[in-house]
Structure formats: C-alpha cells, structure tokens
Structure 1
C-alpha cells in the first residue's frame, strides 16, 4: 500500500442493512482508499465475506482465533493501520457492547484498541432505536468522542415505518471522507475558480454528432478538490454520466460555442481558470435539419474552427491564474510547452493518453506539470483524485 494512501477499517455487524456496506466499500476503493473489513459472525449470515474480499482486494477478518499463517496480533495491526474505523451497519447490540467496553469478538476488540476516529452508522427497528437504553448508549459514545451518521426515516425490513433505517450510503461515505481529510488545507478560501470539464458534442444532424473520448473525470475531481480546499467553484461541463459535485455552481453545456460563451460570461468574476475540458476543435459548418441518409459511398462534411477557449482566456488574463491541459499521443513536452506559451498560461498539465492508466475514461492519470519557466515536474501513476490535489498544490504556489 502507498505510504500516503488512506485506510478505512470497516466493521460490518449483523443487520439486514449489511448488504449496503458492499456499496460503501466499492465507493471508497474507487477513490483509491484502502479498505479492510471485519465482519461479526452474525453479519456473515447476511453477506458472504467473499463479496467484501472481491470488492476490497483484502482478506476479510471474522474469527479472532483463526489459525495464523504469520505472527501478528491482528486486531492491534488493523487498529493501528486504520485512519478511520467505521461500523456500518451498527446494531443495537454492537452499540451496547462498545458503550460498555465489552470486547468479546474481533470487531469490539479492535474498536477498543484503535486510536483512530470511530464512525457509527446505526440501523435497527424503530422501537430498538428509540429505546431509552439504546439512546443512553448512543449518548455515552458521543460523549466519548465517537462520531455518528444518524439513521434515516423510512420503511424498515420488519415492514414498519419510522427511524432506524441505515443512512444513505452517500451520506456515510461523505462522513468518512470528512474524517479522513479533516486536516486538509483550506488554501483556496476566498478564491473563485472556473473549471471546464468533459467533452463537447458538435451535432451533424438530429441523431449524430462529433465528440471525443473524454469522460470528464479529471475536471470533476478538480472541482471536488477545490471545494474541499475552500474555493467557490463554477463548473462548466460538457455531457458526462458523472453526477455534478455538491456545492458548485454547475453549468451544463453541449457544444464548444456554448462552453465558450459560458466561460466568457463568468470570466470577469473569477480568480483562476482551469481548462480541463476536451473541447472540439471543429464543428460542422451546417447542421442538417434531417437525418443524413447513406445514399453515397462517400460523405463530405465541411468543418469550421471553434474558438480556442483557453487562448481567449489568455488574451483577457490580466491578474488571473490560467491553467490548461494537454492530452497528447506524441511529442508530449514539445506540444504542451507550445500551448503554454501561445495561450499565455501559468501552468499546463500534460499527459500522454496512449499510456496505460493515463487515457480517457479511467480513474487514474500520469501527469507532468510545466510552468512558465519550462520547469517540469513528473508524477507517477495515481488516482485522479490524488492528481487533482497535486495540481492544486502547484496552483496554490502562484498566489
């Protein structure tokens, strides 16, 4: 595991909501977070441990007294390894055990041994949740410094309605991330940043269009990282399947001209422009009103050039910081440096999309960052989330 990679230790207790913990593991792993799972024996009646092993790529721990293939006190090593310990779902039973310091299985023993923040997501029948004993146990744990994601109200497994339903996995994920990155820098507070992301689409007729392979993942991760670091963010995005990040001003567009107009409209109000979108260089001169029929062996389409958004930003740059991207397949440094100069940028992020792990549509990237003085910083394969923070670290040096 990478030295800087975060680790979540997930405790899965024996409730019907245990299956939702699988979705949580998947979400965290996709964010390049290492996940270890401890299941209670009761939890294995609801979800097969192989499910968590397949999703986490780590061995699931259940039995405290299983045969050891190596000498290591496992509950201690897991406790020390964890940056956050989350219990999802947390039953009334497990909450009572923790509140009273009981350590009679691997999960409760590890909880006693950890010094990391512990997050508890209760899930149980309404009467069990509202029972004064359960509420007293929760109050006790909060006083001890444990964190909670409060349960939701809704239809429960027992068929009744009320509080006790496991909180949305998205909300649990957010709470975990907040604990993992609670010490993150807030160095972009007071800055307003415009980010472009995704591809653009140039329609040919009512059913066809020209586009590229950009997924928008890099730009969306940059927008998320900016919010985490305190910035006010405007995200101008071409068509993607990604959900818009929370706490950004989201402007969806389709064509390059629409993206250009949106950027120019908001340029005067921002301090930084980060152009990560893969904007179409050309568009059809005419958009056919009817579907083009395949009557001939050849089809000629006349194209006209779209405005270069980052070039136009560079012309109006003034005191703004301008950061661009260069996705190339050959002569990466040469072409990126040329763009840096021609478009009056402060930094350019270059990547060779022909490299494995650095192309479009993947969750990782391999980047080089070039500044105005042609200093080049090279970075190894990393998640796009990590790359976003690396890029912001370099931008922060400019103000």
Structure 2
C-alpha cells in the first residue's frame, strides 16, 4: 500500500484523485444509462422491437466484460492514470456519436466502443485504491465510487429526462458525451505528479493471469458478482421503459420515480461506507462485516424487484424503489472492496478485471432474456420474477460459498 512516507503521493493528492475517480464513475453510469433514458422515444424512432432494444443494451457488455480482463492486466503493468484517461476518452466520444445513429447496426457498434472505454472504471479504480488507500479508509473510498454509481443514473434520468422532453433523444447523447470529455481537464492536472510515480508492480512481483485464474475464490467472486449485477442492470435498463410503456406514467413521473431509487442508493452507499470504516477502525473484522452487508443488500434488492412488479399505486411503487436503492447501495459499496481485500495491492487490477468481467456476463444475457420474455411471454411478470430470484440466490451464495475474506497468497 502506498503512503506519503513511501513517497508515492500525499493524502490530499490522493483525496482529489479519489474524488475525480468517483466523478468519472458518475459520468460512466450517466453515459451507460443514457440508452435507458432515451428509450421511450428512441425505441420507436429507430423502430426497435423489445428484443432489438435488449440486443442494443446487451452489446455494451459483449466488449465490456472481456475487456475488463485486458484492462486489469494493463493497470497492473503500466501507468494506470494514463490508461484511465484513454478509457474515458473512448467512452465519451462513443456516447456523443450515439446521437447520430440511424438504426440498430450503428447503435450496436457504438455500444461496443462504449463498453471498451468504460471497462477501465473498476479495474483502474481498484488498482489505485488497493495501492494507495489504507484499510480504515477503504470503505469511504469505495463508497464514493458506489454513490457515484447511483447518482450517475439518478442525474442521468433527471437531466436526461429534461433534455429528452425538450430537445429529443439525440441531444441526450450529445450533451452527456461532451460533459464527460470535459472531465479529462482536471484529471490531467490532478494525476500529473502521479504519472511519474508508477504504482505498477515490479516485474518480479507481478502475478500472472494464469496464476490468478487457478484460484477458486476468484471464480466464486465472479459468480456472486454476476448475481449482484443482474438485479441492478435489470432496473437500470428496463425500469424507465416499464414505467412509461406498461404502467402508463409520463416521462416526468418516470423521471421522479427512477431518480428516487438511485438517489437512495447513493445516500445509502455513502452511509454504509462511513459506517463500515468506523466499525473496522474500532476492531470489527472487515471481511465478515462486508459479507453480511452484501447479504443484506441482495435480500433487499430481491424483495424490491418483486415488490415493484406488484405495487399498486405510485406511493407503494415509490416505497419499493427506495428499498431497491437501499439494497443496491449496500451491494455497490462492498462488492469491489471485497475483491480488493482478496487481491491485495499487487494483483488488484487483474483480480477486479476478472471478477468484473465474469460479473458483467449478466449484462450480456440479462437484457436479451428480458427482451425475449417481454416479446414472447406477453409482459414483464416473468422478467421481474427471474431478476428477484437471482438476487435472492446471490444472498444465499454470499453466505455459503465465499470463504474467509482476507488477502489470498498469490
């Protein structure tokens, strides 16, 4: 772990880097979720079926998931700060160009490039956090990213909904892409002194990908990551379309309801990060604490997805959306922190790259499964049921198959 005494960077410098990483993840989920915000108008304008829309959402993950493997490897061997900037550039340009698409083929192509660029976010941030952030601050560092992960969709829906209603769906992508490009300016300033002080592992200390892939715990983490992601991605991609197309809410009402859930997620993520750091500093076992927070998050998410499907009226729907925010907030704060614990500073980029790649297979198969269910089974009922069941299964597996959470000898 890098410290000021080791000559890596001052606490103030790393704080600014953590803030900018959190901001990048916020923009990451604004841009990633833009397709869901634009869906009520874009789907009809481009004449997409539910299955076609599901394919477009899924296309992001065709590249994103495998790219996480390669990007994690890059982060452990080269300057993570430069790799991070390159990834942001690719995804920002891809977002802006999506505003010019004319059909499914061009939409899928740009979703592929978006996935390539956005694959830097979690391997890159985990590499920096594992190397630079002490254990008693790991919770709040990851919570800042987790809160951004939630506030990104919330702000994306809030501002994207306003842009959608005023200027149409194409402007959503133009504005979001431009704002992300502007992030590169403060990043270049904040990271400049750090680029010369590489936190890449020396050649003699590097952990090969083949060695990592022989660790059973990594595969188990990939499985529970898949189940943790499934419910969140289901809500992120399909909730706006479901609320407008099936429940009959206006775009304005959809914006308020969806923003409520993501805002709750962000607040809970920050609170859980602060509380977990406080408890670790007072002597709690960090690994077991984070395991039980994951179990609670999975159960809350499963209950909320089931509740949304049967909610009668806006008040009950809002209540279940708050519960969904609580569940996903607990999950997001601890999911990558646990991966960082298992990997340690030497292998954090590669470990989280593999874990995130396996976990995001849910993003490949989930949207297509949901689209097929909606098109061929006549509604969202079975889609909600399957998402709730998989989230509940995640709680069980976090309890039963994940071993003692501590750094693994690599």
TM-score, normalization by structure 2: 0.21
Which structure is larger by alpha-carbon Rg, 1 or 2? 1
Richer in helix (by share): 2
Richer in strand (by share): 1
